[in-house]
Structure 1
Amino acid sequence: MSITPPGGINTSISDDGLSQQPWWVEQWMELINSYRFKKRLERAWAYAREGHVTSIRFEGRRVHARVQGTDEEPYKVKLWLDVLKDEDWRYVLEALTMKARWSAQLLAGIMPADIERAFAASGRRLFPFKLQEVRSECSCPDKANPCKHISAVYFLMGERFSEDPFVLFQLRGRTRAKLLEDLAAYRLQAIAESANQNGNAEALAIDASSSELNPPHPAVLDPTLWWRYDAGLDGDLVVITPAMEGDTGLDAAGELPLAEEPRFPEAKPRFLQHLRDQGQAMAQQAMLEAMAAGN
């Protein structure tokens, strides 16, 4: 019989698990639920909900936790992932540099949905492929690994990932500060190489934020110019087609950091669907007007 802890970590875990979470947390939960000993997983779930995890710390590349079990003293739990080598990170950073969207989303605290494509360049993964890749130790007498104490920490890690997706990078060997610093350095290097290839080395000396040296396009200052094109068009060269499925502006934006209200779980998906419907309606209207103008 386990001892009821005086005050464990508060958690949002419910009977349905971590609900309404970003996709990277859902993927972590799917990894946990792949564990074949379901009864042990249910006990771990109860441990996580009832506050048996008394502390959890992310120190460097390891997770240290204390879980109250049958003994008076909490059991010590350690978790870690295999760290990527510097050469692997070089491939990852080069791939991340190729897509500005990836860098922008990471800077906004959002995990890009296709982030594994960047890690595939090194032949590695950010997320563990199977639960056995999550290394773990527990001071309890249970010989099984993961035991219910380790599994309880798994669930709390999911909550931590929800708050800060950079923890996953940290467990793979790159802290948030180091990752963003390296991204900036690789980005500058890519700009320098591009400038040299174009025979425009002087572009490096221009401050992109200076409107005097690099004035913005007139349409930036006057949005009414967005839909104007005064030059002539050859009708035989103009082809009007609808956007491909999954190629809308909303899709390109990726996961939007919208606030959520637990009392109205359908609010976010309904809002996003409304945006999609509006976008489709506007696209259809634009096509009709464009085709009518061409006749």
Structure 2
Amino acid sequence: MSDQPFWASDEYTGGRPIRVEGGIRIHAAKGAVARTWWSARFLSVLERLGVGGRLSRGKTYARSGQIVSLDVDAGAAVALVQGTRPQPYRVRIGLRVWDKPQWRRVEEALAADAWYAAALLSGTVPPEIEELLDGLGLSLFPAAGGDLAQDCSCPDATVPCKHLAAVFYVLAERCDTDPFTLLTLRGRDRTTLLERLREERDRAAGAGAPSGPAALADLLDGFWTAPAGGAAPPSPPETEPDAVLDQVPEPALRAGPDTLTDLLRPVYRALAHPDR
């Protein structure tokens, strides 16, 4: 007879998961998880890759806070998810990192228009970035099955298991609140990317700057003049009126089954659109 506890057996699948105190949970208590186009695109891409049909298995885990920790770095999101066994499962979701030449092309393209960096810093991903990356032969989202890796230490042979699915939901909501998440997975975190863009703009400005004593005067003469035949400047990125609620920790106060954040969302939207 084996000395291992019953819950350590690979055949053990019953019972409720062990509750996690202060675990990571998604804010969406019901309905759709994604609130932005890029987060929704991330989940829809997973569906096309054959992952989405099983995502619902992890929605309860994601909503009840079974994720103990989540770290997002270049190439992978690594999480600990508490299941029915005392030891949390280790979950890894991998996304192929762009190599140096690819990132150089991306940085040059983004640095050519400061609007992209401004949009990302404001908490949004402009839809135009998909077209820009497509022109470089790249995709922000997983482009094929080989672009995405999934691994969990649980005994469930189904991929994704509910632990992986739960992390996908938490990752999608993190993309909602931090648009640099997907770029981090592709190989550039927020600080590094912004520094590279600044260096690229400085390099481009230095290469094209006029020289000599009259340089500043020459620039001032036409500083406020729009270039002839130039395209209209892009409109500022639009953000949802309740996006600020996703930037702060969830208050502990609740009103029945609803969180305080869920109750405040319609108030913020009504204040932004009083005529509706």
* TM-score with structure 1 setting the length: 0.67
Partner of residue 174 from structure 2, selected from 140, 149, 160: 160
Look at both structures and tell me which one has the larger radius of gyration over its CA atoms. Answer: 1
Counterpart for residue 10 of structure 1: 25
1:121: Cα distance to partner?
A: 3.7
Q: What letter corresponds to residue 241 of structure 2 in structure 1?
A: L
Aligned partner of 1:69 in structure 2 is 83
User: Which deviates more from structure 2 when the two are superposed, residues 27-36 or residues 121-130?
Assistant: 27-36
Give me the whole-angstrom Cα distance separating, in 1, the residues matched to 2:102 and 2:52: 35
CA RMSD of the aligned region, Å? Answer: 3.5
- What code does the residue aligned with 1:172 have? R
Q: Distance in 1 between matches of 2:168 and 2:104?
A: 29
Which of 221, 232, 237 is matched with 1:254 structurally?
237
Matches of residues 224-263 of structure 1 in structure 2 within 5 Å?
Answer: 252-256=235-239, 258-259=241-242, 261-263=264-266
Contact 1:65–1:78 (8 Å) recurs in 2: yes
User: C-alpha separation between the residues in 2 aligned to 1:137 and 1:74?
Assistant: 14
Give distance in 2, aligned partners of 1:94 and 1:12.
Answer: 36
Q: What is the one-letter code of the residue matched to 1:93?
A: E
- The structural deviation recorded for 1:38 is 6.7
Whether the 8 Å contact between 1:31 and 1:130 is mirrored in structure 2 is no
Runs (4+) of structure 1 exceeding 6 A deviation are 215-219
1:118 and 2:132 aligned = yes
Contact residue 41 and residue 148 of structure 1 kept, 8 A: yes
Given the superposition, is the C-alpha separation of residues 12 and 204 from structure 1 closer, same or farther in structure 2, using an over 3 Å criterion? farther
Match of 1:45 in 2: 59
The question of 1:136 aligning with 2:150 is answered: yes
Q: CA deviation at 1:187?
A: 1.1
State the TM-score, normalizing by the size of structure 2. 0.71
Structure 1 residues 1-38: Cα deviation after superposition (integer angstroms, max 9, x where no partner): 2423232323212331225x222222223234446577
Corresponding residue for residue 54 of structure 1 = 68
Q: Report the number of matched residues.
A: 236
Q: State the shift of 1:67 in Å.
A: 1.3
CA contact (8 A) 1:192 1:201 kept: no
Report the residue type matching 2:265 in the other structure. P
Gap runs ≥5 in structure 2:
1-13, 226-230, 244-263
Identity of aligned residues (%): 31
Aligned counterparts of 1:26 and 1:11: Cα–Cα separation in 2? 14
| Alpha-carbon spacing, 1:10–1:205, altered in 2? closer, same or farther (3 Å) | farther
Structure 2 match to 1:100: 114
**Partners in 1 of 2:165 and 2:27 — Cα distance?**
16
Structure 1 unmatched runs, 5+: 208-212, 220-246, 275-295
Q: CA deviation at 1:40?
A: 3.5
The one of the two structures with greater contact order (alpha-carbon pairs below 8 A, sep at least 6) is 2
